[in-house]
Chains A and B, each alone.
Chain A
Amino acid sequence: IAGITQAPTSQILAAGRRMTLRCTQDMRHNAMYWYRQDLGLGLRLIHYSNTAGTTGKGEVPDGYSVSRANTDDFPLTLASAVPSQTSVYFCASSDSRAINEQFFGPGTRLTVL
Chain B
Amino acid sequence: GQNIDQPTEMTATEGAIVQINCTYQTSGFNGLFWYQQHAGEAPTFLSYNVLDGLEEKGRFSSFLSRSKGYSYLLLKELQMKDSASYLCALMDSNYQLIWGAGTKLIIKP
A residues contacting B by CB (< 8 A) are 40-45, 48, 58-59, 90, 97-99, 101-107
Nearest residue in B to A38 (C-beta to C-beta)?
B101
Nearest residue in B to A31 (C-beta to C-beta)?
B95
Q: How far is the CA of A103 from the CA of B100 in the complex (A)?
A: 18
* Contact, CB under 8 Å: A99 / B43: no
Q: How far is the CA of A105 from the CA of B95 in the complex (A)?
A: 20
* Residue tally, chain B, CB below 8 Å to A: 22
Quick check: is B18 within 8 A (CB to CB) of the other chain?
A: no
Q: How far is the CA of A102 from the CA of B100 in the complex (A)?
A: 16
Q: How many residue-residue contacts, CB under 8 A, span A and B?
A: 45
* Contact, CB under 8 Å: A106 / B31: no
* Contact, CB under 8 Å: B96 / A58: yes
Of B42, B48, B50, B98, which contacts A106 at CB under 8 A?
A: B42
Nearest residue in A to B33 (C-beta to C-beta)?
A101
* Contact, CB under 8 Å: A42 / B42: no
Of B31, B41, B96, B99, which contacts A42 at CB under 8 A?
A: B99
Nearest residue in B to A104 (C-beta to C-beta)?
B42
B97 proximity list for chain A (CB < 8 A): 43, 45, 102
A48 proximity list for chain B (CB < 8 A): 96
B54 proximity list for chain A (CB < 8 A): none
Contacts A42-B100, A99-B95, A102-B97 aside, 14 further interface pairs with beta carbons under 8 A come to: A42-B98, A42-B99, A42-B102, A43-B43, A43-B99, A44-B99, A45-B96, A58-B96, A99-B31, A99-B50, A101-B33, A102-B45, A104-B43, A106-B41
